[in-house]
Amino acid sequence: MPDEEVVGPAVEPIAAYQVKFYEDIIPVAQLADGRIYVPIRPITDALGLSSRGQRLRVLRHPVMAEDVQAVNMHGSDGKRRAFLSIPLQQLPGFLFGVDTNRVKAELQEKLLRYQRECFDALWQATAGSAAALTTSAAPALEAPANREMTSAERALALATTLQQLAAAQVEAERRMTGLDAMQAELSAKVSTMADFLRPFVQETRRLLADQAGRLGSIETRLTTITEAEAAEVALAVKNLAAELEKRNTPNGYARVHSILYRRFDVRSYYVLPHEKYELVLKWLRSWYDEVITQPVAAGGKEVAEPQ
């Protein structure tokens, strides 16, 4: 199963480390909440375990499944991708849960060594004083060039690594606490400023709304015809309708108004745009001139409106 097939969205760590444990390089990452996470895949590869089987074991475990997290890290091939990871403090429990009988014979001793060192490291970490966790990180312990590290030296090396990671977590928690206090103080200041500015904002909104209403009224007066011009159009419609009815055209006023609305989109004389004013009057007068040339009550074909 590819490393990217993990549960939930992957998170970006704020710091990454490479821990050398014997000949294996184990990546670890520190999240924004200060916790240290260890990816499962590099450990299973180092021990020759089934990555899929161990992943399923973690997801089924009632404790580890609560804190399992997908974390973006660099793999052994240098590519960055999401790894299913567990908190550092759960690593011993994860290793203790691996059955040595399920590991290849040539890797059983390696697994036992991992488990043995975890036991020793847990004792070293818990037996150390609390002050050791807050001091500056101690340099990594290396074996002399002419021999391998002893079991005690390896245990001390792992304990030192755990101490460094724990110190980093403590420092991150302190920074988070300081940031929370700063955020609370800033929120209080913003709330006070908002209360102070709220009346000014409300008054500004009222003035802007009033100004918008006035501008709308002025715009309407500037873009539509005057009352006198509207009265002139209404009189022209009335005179034309009267002449049409004299010549057997029923509902002359309704007919003229209907054609006027359809032709010029005039719903009311008072909202007639200035640019249409002369066109409407010219059209009404032209139709009126054609109508009055016809005999009164002549009947027959009605006089069509001018084009």
92-103 residue pLDDT tens: 778 777 766 666
Query: ∠ CA 86-87-91 to the nearest 5 degrees?
Result: 75
Predicted confidence band of residue 135 (pLDDT cuts 50, 70, 90): very low
Query: What does the mean pLDDT of the chain come to?
Result: 75
The pairing of beta strand 69-74 with beta strand 24-30:
unpaired
Of the candidate ranges 42-46, 102-106, 233-237, the one whose mean pLDDT is the lowest: 102-106
pLDDT score for 193: 76
Q: Give backbone dihedrals phi and psi of 29, rounded to 5 degrees, phi first.
A: -140, 145
Query: How far is CA 303 from each of CA 231, 240, 254, 264, 283, rounded to the nearest angstrom?
Result: 25, 11, 15, 20, 14
CA distance 87 to 176: 19
SS3 39: strand
Domain ranges within the chain, ordered by starting residue: 15-128+148-166, 227-291
Q: What are the E-state strand segments in the chain?
A: 15-21, 24-30, 36-39, 69-74, 80-87
Mean pLDDT of 53-78: 87
Give residue-wise pLDDT tens across range 210-254.
Answer: 777 666 555 555 688 888 888 888 888 888 888 888 887 788 888
